[in-house]
Structure 1
Amino acid sequence: MLILPENADHAGILGRMKITLVRGDITQQATDVVVNAANSSLLGGGGVDGAIHRHGGPEILAECRQLRASRYGKGLPTGQAVATTAGKLPARWVIHTVGPVHSVKEDRSGLLASCYRESLRVADELGARSVAFPAISTGVYRWPMEDAARIVLGTVRSADTRIDDVTFVLFDVEAYQTFERVLRGLGPTDEEIEAVLAARPSEHWEKLFALADALTDADLEVTWEGGPEPGEEGVSEMPHAIYSDALDAVLSVLVGLQVIVPFDWSAWHRATPLFPDGNGLDQAPVADAARLATTFIRAERFSEGTIQEAIQSGALHAILRRLRHWYQNERQ
C-alpha cells in the first residue's frame, strides 16, 4: 500500500515497517538514529559527513577519535557501521557507515546493501525504533541514483529488524522523485500480499481448486486464430491464442482472488531465474506464486501465448500447487 500524507512527504507501509521519503536536511531529523555517510577515517569530511559533525558538535568527533584509538585503528571498513552520540542533533544516536565508491568494472552493490543492513543491525542493538538514512554513495562516490534506490530500498524492506520507521532524507527533487518511482515499482511486501490472500473467503479458494482439479488435457490445449492466409497480401490480423472456457474460469478466479498484485513484474521476472518455469516455487513464499501469476496473466496483454508458455513449462500448475499448499497448511 502506498499513501501520500498531508505534509506531501511520500510514505509506503511495507509490512510492519513504515518507509518515508522526505526532501530535507538529515541533521534536522528527530529520529532515534540518523545515519552518517562517513569516510573511513571517522574524522569528518564533506557532504552529509561534514554537516553531521558541524551540527552535532565536538562530542561526535570525540567519540569517533576514541573508536579510531581502539576498535578501528585502520579506519572503519566499507560496508560496516558503528554508533556514537548524536551530540546536539535532535536524534539520539549517529550511526556511521562507509559507502563504496561506484565502479563500472566491479560489482560493489553488496557493499552498498551492507551499509544499510549493518546500520539497521546496530540500531537494533541500541534499542532504536526509527532511523533516518541519506542516499549513501550517490554524491562524490558517484553511485547512479536509480540503481542505488533499487538496492537500498530492497535491502531495507527485506531486512530482519525491529525498526518500525525508516526515513530516507533526499537532498534534491531529482533524488526524491527517483526514490519515489522505485518505491512504487517495488510493490507490496510478502507480508502484505499474504494478508490480502488470507482475507479472501474460503469459498473463493475452494472454487479455484475445484476448477483447477476439473481441468482436462483438452482444456489446456491452446488454439490460434488470425494470421495471414496463404498467398494473402497486405495487412492481416495478428495471430492470437484462444484458451478454453474452463481455463479462462481458473484465470478469472485467480484475478478475483486479488492474486494479481501491483509491482514491477517485468523486473521481477528478469531477476528471478528459478521461477519463470515454476521450479523452486514450492519452497518459496506464497507471495512469489502471486507475483508469478501476475507475470504471466499481465504479460498476456502484451504478448500472445504467455499463458500457453506457463502451461507448457509447468509454471501454471506450480502456481496452483503452491497456493493450495498455503491454503491448506499455512493460511491463518
Structure 2
Amino acid sequence: MRETPPISAPAMDAILRFLPLFESADFQSGRWVLKKPGGGGALTFPYYEYGRDVGEFLGALNDNGWIIPFDWLAWQEEAAKYVDSPALLETADAGTLRRLLTTHARMERFCDGHLADMLGRGHIAAVLGRLARLREDAL
C-alpha cells in the first residue's frame, strides 16, 4: 500500500471555507425525498437530496486529497468514539481528521443521509473546527 501524502495548507483551506456555513444555526444540508413527483404510482425508496453546498463540500474533499484509501469499515468503531466524544475530537491529529472525513464520505454511499446526520449533530463542523485550530497552530 502506498503512503498517503501529507495534508497541505491549500487542502486544509479548501474545506475550511465550509466551516462558517456548517456552524450556522440556520444551515440545512438538504431534505428527504419520499416520493418522486410524477412517479405514476411506482414505488420509490426514500433518499436524501443534498443541497449544493454539501455537494461542493464532498467535491472539495475528493479534489483535495481528503478521501484516502484505507479500511474505513474496520475503523468505524473508532470513528464512533470521535462522534460521541467532542473531548476526544479535540485530541485528534490531521491524519485522524482525514480518516473521519473519509469514513463519513464513504458511509454516505451505503447509508443515505449519514452525512446529513453528522452535519445535523454538529460533528462535521467540530471536525472542521479542530482542523482550523491545527492549521492555526502550524502557522
The structure, 1 or 2, with the larger RCO (C-alpha pairs under 8 Å, 6+ apart) is: 2
Q: 1:275 to 1:315 in 2, by over 3 A?
A: same
Q: Partners of 2:85 and 2:60 in 1: how far apart?
A: 20
Displacement of 1:228 in angstroms is: 8.7
Displacement of 1:242 in angstroms is: 1.5
* Of 108, 112, 115, the match for 1:307: 115
- Aligned residue pairs, count: 135
In the alignment, which residue of structure 2 is the partner of 1:241? 48
Find the residue that maps to 1:242 and give its secondary structure.
strand
What is the identity, as a one-letter code, of the residue corresponding to 1:269?
Q
Displacement of 1:329 in angstroms is: 1.1
Q: Partners of 2:138 and 2:91 in 1: how far apart?
A: 13
What is the identity, as a one-letter code, of the residue corresponding to 1:220?
Q
Superposed, 1:29-178 pairs within 5 Å as none
Larger radius of gyration: 1
* Of 17, 26, 33, the match for 1:210: 17
In the alignment, which residue of structure 1 is the partner of 2:57? 250
Q: 1:228 to 1:242 in 2, by over 3 A?
A: closer
Displacement of 1:265 in angstroms is: 0.6
Q: Partners of 1:269 and 1:221 in 2: how far apart?
A: 23
Q: What are structure 2's unaligned runs of at least 5 residues? A: none
What is the identity, as a one-letter code, of the residue corresponding to 2:64?
L
Q: 1:261 to 1:272 in 2, by over 3 A?
A: same
Contact 2:29 2:54 in 1 (8 A): no
Structure 1 residue 284 corresponds to structure 2 residue 92: yes
Stretches of 4+ moved more than 6 A in 1? none
Q: Partners of 1:260 and 1:271 in 2: how far apart?
A: 17
Q: Partners of 2:28 and 2:104 in 1: how far apart?
A: 15
Q: 1:210 to 1:228 in 2, by over 3 A?
A: closer
Displacement of 1:284 in angstroms is: 1.7
Q: Which is richer in helix?
A: 2
Contact 1:225 1:239 in 2 (8 A): yes
Q: Which is richer in strand?
A: 1
Task: With the length of structure 1 as denominator, give the TM-score of the two structures.
Answer: 0.36
Contact 1:278 1:315 in 2 (8 A): no
Displacement of 1:248 in angstroms is: 2.1
Task: With the length of structure 2 as denominator, give the TM-score of the two structures.
Answer: 0.78
CA root-mean-square deviation? 2.7
What is the identity, as a one-letter code, of the residue corresponding to 1:211?
F
Q: Partners of 1:205 and 1:241 in 2: how far apart?
A: 27
Q: What are structure 1's unaligned runs of at least 5 residues? A: 3-187
